[in-house]
Structure formats: C-alpha cells, structure tokens
C-alpha cells in the first residue's frame, strides 16, 4: 500500500507543472507526425475514482476532416483518430503516433474527461534520425486558473523564424491581438479570424513585418461573433514553434472563462 501511494504521489508531482484538464485547458495545440517526428501524450488519472478519457487527434480543419493518423496506447481502445481509455485511480496511459508518413503532418489533440475528474496531461514531440533522438520538446497544459491571455514573444533573433499556432474548434472565432513592448506600450494591434477552420499557423514577421525586432508580450481578447447558438466556444491554446526545424519554445495559453460562453443566452 505504501509503495502504491508513493507512486501516485510521484505522478502527482510529475504532473504538477502540467496541471489538470478542464474547461479552459484540454487541448494540446501542436501534434507532429511523420518526417521523422512522433508525438507522445501522457495522461494520468489524479482522482480517487475511475476516469473515462477520450483523446482525439484533429487536423487544421477540425471536426470537418478525419486525420488518418496511426496510433497506439498502453491503455485504451484505439479507433480511427482517437483513443478511449478507462483509467483507474492513479493509472496512466501513453498514446503515441506512429510517425509513418514520409512527410511531416501537423494537427492538434483534444482531451475529454467525461466525469469531471482531475487529470494530468502533457505531450512530448520527438524527432528521430536512424533511431536516435535528435530533437525533443514538451508541450504542457497550463493551469486552469491562468489569470490573463498573454504570451511572451521575442522576435528580435533573426534566426528564430517563429510560427504562432492558434487552435479553436469554434469556427467563427475572432482574436483581437495587442503586441506590447517590454515597457508596456502597445507596439501594434490586429485581428485574426478562423473562417471555418480549427488551426491557424502564422509567421508573425511575414504577416506583421512592422514587428521586426519586437520583444515583449502578445495578448488577446476572444470573441465568437457568428457562432451557432448551440456551439461550444473557445480558443483552446496558442503555441510558439521555430518553423526552421528547431523548437524555440512551445507554450499553450487558454481562453479565460469569461470569454468562453458555452451556452448562448439568446
């Protein structure tokens, strides 16, 4: 019994930085598969009751397209592009893509726990060459009590060649974005819309050349002007990716609950 409690305590410590999956943080914004890349998602049940967890792998088109990604899991039933796992208290599952495509394919993952149990999760993106790991980084899930939608951003290194990755299953999502200097002043503002897709890849210096040498923070306000009245509404996460092949940073950030109306009042 002591050994089992020690293991569960250790898992809780491991996932402390990854926090728990909830209404504001249940997406992993960037999944890589193929071209030498695989992605592992580790999920653990942190509650004292069994948990039913479904992890679905989605393309940039979201629910409108099934991603034919090959998956395997240490626990759970694999079906098409998802894995359904029933996890006992303290149990965990590791889900991994096969990496079988010759060319890199990218998407995101949606993690749903159906009984409102606390669950820890993170993803590890791995690139191998001849069986050896040559690149690896971890994408955590941020705490649900995040107080502000803001992400540090450094565009001053010309070698960085960064991409911003935005994910929202609400197809009509609009983002009002401010770029603030490290002094707090707004350097530039703009809008982004999803227009029927679920994932947007943006190279900031190509879309916004005026941000050359920018160093500060990106903050956003989310709105859903044309959402269906029964549609769930959220921007799930944002990540930064070094598109030149080198991972400079990967950091999800979630829509605040105040911006995340799940039921249309009208």
Contact predicate 193/183, CB 8 Å? no
At 80 the pLDDT is 86
Residues 6+ apart with CB under 8 A from 22: 144
Going by C-beta distance under 8 Å and a sequence separation of 6 or more, which residues neighbour residue 143? 19, 25
What's the pLDDT tens digit per position in 177-215? 999 998 889 999 999 998 888 898 888 889 999 999 999
Domains and CATH numbers, the chain: 2-140 (2.60.290.11), 150-259 (2.60.40)
- Between the alpha carbon of residue 173 and those of residues 184, 196, 222, the distances in Å are 26, 9, 7
CA–CA gap between residue 19 and residue 147 (Å, rounded): 14
Q: How many CB atoms lie within 10 A of CB 224?
A: 23
pLDDT given for residue 39 in this prediction = 95
Q: Which stretches of the chain score pLDDT less than 50?
A: 1-19, 143-147, 265-266
- Report the DSSP beta bridge partners of residue 123: 41, 139
């Amino acid at each position: 019994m002591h050994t089992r409690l020690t293991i569960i305590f250790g898992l809780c410590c491991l996932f402390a930085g990854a926090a728990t999956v909830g209404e504001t943080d249940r997406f992993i914004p960037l999944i890589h598969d193929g071209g030498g890349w695989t992605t592992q998602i580790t999920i653990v049940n942190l509650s004292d009751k069994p948990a039913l967890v479904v992890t679905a792998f989605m393309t940039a088109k979201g629910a409108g397209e099934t991603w034919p990604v090959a998956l395997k899991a240490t626990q759970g039933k694999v079906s098409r592009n998802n894995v359904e796992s029933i996890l006992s208290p303290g149990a965990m599952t590791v889900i991994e893509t096969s990496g079988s495509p010759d060319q890199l394919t990218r998407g995101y993952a949606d993690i749903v726990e159906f009984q409102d149990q606390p669950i820890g999760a993170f993803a590890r993106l791995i690139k191998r060459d001849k069986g050896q790991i040559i690149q690896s980084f971890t994408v955590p899930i941020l705490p649900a009590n995040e107080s502000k939608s803001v992400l540090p951003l450094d565009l001053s290194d010309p070698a960085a060649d960064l991409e911003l990755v935005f994910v929202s299953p609400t197809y009509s999502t609009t983002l009002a974005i401010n770029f603030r200097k490290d002094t707090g002043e707004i350097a530039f503002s703009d809008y982004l819309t999803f227009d029927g897709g679920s994932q947007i890849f943006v190279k900031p210096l190509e879309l916004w050349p005026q941000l050359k040498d920018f160093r500060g923070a990106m903050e956003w306000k989310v709105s859903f002007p044309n959402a269906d009245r029964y549609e769930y509404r959220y921007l799930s996460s944002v990540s930064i990716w070094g598109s030149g092949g080198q991972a400079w940073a990967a950091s999800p950030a979630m829509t605040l609950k105040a911006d995340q109306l799940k039921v249309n009042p009208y």
